[in-house]
Amino acid sequence: MSVTAHVSAWVAERGRMKTPGKAFFISEQRRPLHRSTVNLALKKYGELAALSLAVHPHILRHAYGHAMADQGADTRLIKDYLGRRNIQHAVRYTATNPARFERLWR
């Protein structure tokens, strides 16, 4: 299952929970998680996974941008989906993986 499919499935499930607002991360009480709770959880699990970089919520945004680019999403779609105002901020996701353009030259 792709990252997009997982996110879509979670958003659909969260919608069935009738949570207030549109927070992506919610608590067991069905309320939005506080940002410090998300930061601590990501830090903890990043350390447990022995990752070589500091994990924080914004890194998820970058990971999703790269995943969209790897799946062939257009730069404008990535820009809109991630809420970027300037397309140059979305170009980084498509520019870092030249291998995804190989099929165009065959």
Q: pLDDT 10s per residue in the chain (106 long)?
A: 777 788 889 888 888 888 778 788 888 888 888 889 989 999 999 999 998 988 888 888 888 888 888 888 888 888 888 888 888 877 877 776 666 666 655 5
Please indicate, yes or no, if residue 75 is contained in any of the structural domains.
yes
Q: According to the model, what pLDDT value does residue 77 have?
A: 87
Which amino acid is located at 45 in the chain? Y
Please indicate, yes or no, if residue 37 is contained in any of the structural domains.
no
Please indicate, yes or no, if residue 1 is contained in any of the structural domains.
no
Residue 68: domain span: 55-106
Q: According to the model, what pLDDT value does residue 19 have?
A: 79
Contact 93, 74 (CB under 8 A): no
Q: According to the model, what pLDDT value does residue 92 have?
A: 78
What is the value of pTM for the model shown? Answer: 0.58
The label of the residue with tokens 């207030």 reads 20
CA 30 – CA 32 distance, rounded (Å)? 7
Please indicate, yes or no, if residue 30 is contained in any of the structural domains.
no
Number of domains in the chain: 1
Please indicate, yes or no, if residue 63 is contained in any of the structural domains.
yes
Please indicate, yes or no, if residue 88 is contained in any of the structural domains.
yes
